[in-house]
Structure 1
Amino acid sequence: MKTSQYFSEVVQELSRNTELISDDEAEKLLNQMLESKKIFIVGAGRSGLIGKSFVMRLMHMGLDAYAVGETVTANLEESDLLIVGSGSGETKTLVAIAEKAKRLGGTVAAVTISPNSTIGKLSDIIVKLPGAPKEQSEGNYKTIQPMGSLFEQTMLVFFDALILRMMEKKGLDSNKMYGKHANLE
């Protein structure tokens, strides 16, 4: 196959995923984000990178948002939200962070393929995203893409859709948000 054919198939897979995501789950997460004093995002590997891009957009909206593990990350308190992006919901370091957030009185939300995972069971809010686990021999969701790529891409687009919905609710547009964009570049 040509690269353009692979690209087309990836886009079709993402398009099919949009119908498999619960608007109710997404709205519950969005409302919790708007009610929380601070928002923390954590993920491992590529999921972590996607989480950091989400934190950037939240900052552009004027929200107090942090990527867990960065030197400028604030402390989590009772009125705060931790969003864990994990396909498997079993990554040990992320489980430990979710457990600590619960002990500190924070709200935990999972964005995951696996709502019945350890992280899913720790979570107050779960948004189930479609995708194949890294070990594609598990589960019945099939993709042409390697490992967790479809989940990670779906999470990126889902987070961007949440931003658009939040912009709508807060009456923001891109021009207003641009005022918070980095200017030392």
Structure 2
Amino acid sequence: MLGHPCPFPPTPADGRSAAKRTITTIVENESDFINDIANRDGKGNRRIRRDHVRFVLPRPLRPHPTIITSESGDFGAIMLCSATAACASLDPGTDPAAGGNQEVNSVSSSPYQGALKELESVFSRLDDAKVDEVVDVIAKARSTVVFGGGRERLQIMGFAMRLYHMGVPVAVEGDMTTPPVGPGDVFLVTVGPGEISTALALIGVAKAAGATVVVITAQPNGRAPRMADLVLHLPAQTMADDQGAAKTSILPMGSLYEGALFVLFEIMVLKLRERVAITPEAMRARHTNLE
């Protein structure tokens, strides 16, 4: 990123001297600013706390690239300007277009972008050919029974609902109407951390009965995927790696994996819809009216 002088010096909101070192840079997007400049002073030292940085101009008024100047201390004024507009020296958390009292597009909104980028990273590493294998197995199965624990269960139950809408025989493990599984059936399991005791027990029962076991997981070397006939690796943080140096997501615990499951299942629905040749109208006609 390139430095660029700003024509107007910042005026600290707390009345301190404006002679302190400032950071002025041209950034192509907000995430560059948050991830780099917002955390470093002119010597590369991390000085500015992320939660004290504010983007104070509404997006429609913010030209690209944006020239951003900030005082290098923990607190202070932040200046945003462009080559064609005068800079605005203002206190973090204020919006000059709204009279200086309204926070606009602050760092508090940046987790949305962060979470979306993390999901993008998950799917950039997903083996789509393996997804097609799972779709093919489900399409050919006599019936599919699904299982997941905790919040993963919510996601796979939603997938089961869509399978029903497509006319694909399906049941959710634990329901009173769940049929027995055997040869020709699929037991589809999501177990992000690689193992939970319930999943291990049920996989053992399904395999002993002759069903095909498909496991979706973020830990392909876990005990559950090692028992499976087919494994789909969904590379996202779970409770197996959400602490200490292993933690990679801004989201808590297994939320990234669970969110990725939702997206994965919706794409699988699209693939299955073509595979079983059912129209959106036919799916909609199978939606319950008891709501």
- What is the TM-score normalised by the length of structure 2? 0.61
Q: 1:168 aligns with which of 274, 284, 287?
A: 274
Residue in structure 2 matched with residue 82 of structure 1 by the alignment: 187
- Unmatched 5+ residue regions in structure 1? none
- CA separation of 1:93/1:183 partners in 2, compared to 1, >3 Å: closer, same or farther? same
Query: Counterpart in 2 of 1:147?
Result: 253
Partner residue of 1:62?
167
Q: 1:131 aligns with which of 236, 243, 253?
A: 236
Q: Is the 8 A contact 1:41 1:83 kept in 2?
A: yes
Task: Name the aligned partner's letter for residue 162 of structure 2.
Answer: R
In structure 2, what is the Cα distance between the partners aligned to 1:154 and 1:163?
14
CA distances 1:14-73 after superposition (whole Å, capped 9, x unpaired): 122111110121111111101110001101000011110000000000011111001121
Contact 2:186-2:212 at 8 Å conserved across structures: yes
Structure 1 position 140, deviation (Å): 4.7
Of 127-136 and 39-48, the range deviating more from structure 2: 127-136
Kindly provide the CA deviation profile for residues 47-102 of structure 1, in whole angstroms up to 9, marking residues without a partner as x. Answer: 01111000000000001111100112111121100111011121001100001000
Superposition RMSD on alpha carbons, in Å? 1.6
- Looking at secondary structure, tell me which structure has more strand per residue: 2
Partner of 2:150: 45
Asked if the contact 1:89–1:115 (Cα under 8 Å) also holds between the matched residues in 2, the reply is yes
**How much has 1:174 moved relative to structure 2?**
1.7
* Paired residues, number: 185
Which residue number in structure 2 is paired with residue 23 of structure 1? 128
> Residue type of the partner of 1:173?
T
Contact 1:132 1:139 in 2 (8 A): no
Q: Do the aligned residues in 1 keep the contact of 2:139 with 2:276 (CA within 8 Å)?
A: no
Percent of aligned positions that are identical: 28
CA distance in 2: counterparts of 1:177 and 1:3, whole angstroms? 39
- Structure 2, gaps ≥5 residues long: 1-50, 52-106
The structure carrying a bigger helix percent of its residues is 1
Q: 2:139·2:275 contact (CA, 8 Å) conserved in 1?
A: no
Partners of 2:195 and 2:244 in 1: CA distance: 14
The code of the aligned residue for 2:196 comes to T
Task: Sort the Cα spacing of 1:10 and 1:96 in 2 relative to 1 into closer, same or farther, 3 A.
Answer: same
Residue 5 of structure 1: how far off its partner (Å):
1.9
